[in-house]
Amino acid sequence: MRTGIKVFAPASVANVGVGYDILGFALEKPGDEIIVRLSDKPGLRITKITGAKGKLPTAIEKNTASFAALKMLQHIGEEGRGIEFEIHKKMPFGSGLGSSAASAVAGVMAVNEILRRPLTKRELLPFAVMGEQIADGAWHADNVAPSLLGGMILIRSNETLDVHRLPIPKGLYATVIYPKVEVLTKHSRGILSDQTSLKQCIEQTGNLAGFIIGMYNSDIDLIGRSLKDVIIEPQRAQLIPHFYAVKNAVLEAGALGCSISGAGPSIFALSTNSLIAERVGEEMTRIFTDAKIENQLFISKINQEGAVLL
């Protein structure tokens, strides 16, 4: 068997409360792994999928990872190149942690690596977004960009993929809990009203601006005051059992802020150090466990690397 390469792409938290579709950050774990090998047989082929419980298609144009890679290969004039894919899903589906984005990122980066990097990491972004788009039908980079590039990412424009990294204050930790209840992204987007009051718009844009300034100045108090979503969270909270009980408990435990990760049902909180992050995690776990809802906890620094070659 030919030697292959393995790429890891991390999970991500999108929206970050105040930045619907325009803010996201990468976690250290979980994430997806993809192994690619060159083949004498022309074209892309998916030879193996693990961890997906039969939920992922093997058709190249229907799978986020292979579709992203195909679009990149077409762009560089190498669509006939023989490449075999192994996809190893190591994160939950429908969790609000960017599962499809991680697959798309890992797929496009793995192919780029095995072809000795014809494109830069940043140049891979549009193809990864194309891959994720086939999973949820939306063109947005708030999961894909941090999974690929790492860090906390601001997307000024999804249309043009004008993305920028924000500085991360020293010691910042994320605590994320995934309660194992089903929240479909399409449903979670579908319940959102297309009407926003002027008052809400003013408050939300003030919070977004304050959050960005807080990140640049390492102003922890400003970050905490700004992490308040007055538009999306109130509409989506109904989809997540015990959301407000969790939010109130983690703020009492010292978290800077707490909101829904992506489309949910995962909930994230930011804290100023690992001790508080762990205490926050204990509160999250306690509430869902007491409610007899199976859950999975992740505590992580903001992942500054994004997708990496293993």
Residue 181 and residue 150 in one domain: no
Whether 140 and 160 map to the same domain: the answer is yes
- Could you read off the pLDDT of 27-41 as tens digits, one per residue? 999 999 999 999 999
Give per-residue pLDDT as tens, 282-305: 999 999 999 999 999 999 999 999
Residue 21: give its domain's CATH number.
3.30.230.10
Q: What is the set of active-site residues?
A: 132, 185
- Tell whether 133 and 193 lie within a shared domain: no
Tokens 């022309």 sit at which residue? Answer: 42
Amino acid at 231: I
CATH number at residue 223: 3.30.70.890
**124 & 189 share domain:** no
Q: 144 and 188 share a domain?
A: no
185: confidence class by pLDDT, cuts 50, 70, 90? low
Note whether 162 and 180 are same-domain residues: no
Q: How far is CA 133 from the centre of its chain?
A: 13
| Residue 101 resides in a domain | yes
**Domain span including residue 106:** 5-166
* Domain assignment of residue 306, yes or no: no
0.75 exceeded by the pTM?
Answer: yes
How high is the pLDDT of residue 295? Answer: 97
308 within some domain = no
Query: Given its phi and psi angles, is residue 169 left (phi above 0), alpha (psi -120 to 50 degrees) or beta?
Result: beta
In this structure, the answer to whether residues 11 and 160 fall within a common structural domain is yes
Question: 113 with 26, same domain?
Answer: yes
Q: For 59-84, what is each residue's pLDDT tens digit?
A: 999 999 999 999 999 999 999 999 99
pLDDT tens-place string over residues 95-150:
999 999 999 999 999 999 999 999 999 999 999 999 999 987 889 999 999 999 99
Query: Per-residue pLDDT averaged across 237-254, rounded?
Result: 97
**Using CA atoms, how far apart are residues 268 and 40, in angstroms rounded to an integer?**
45
Domain count of the fold of the chain: 2
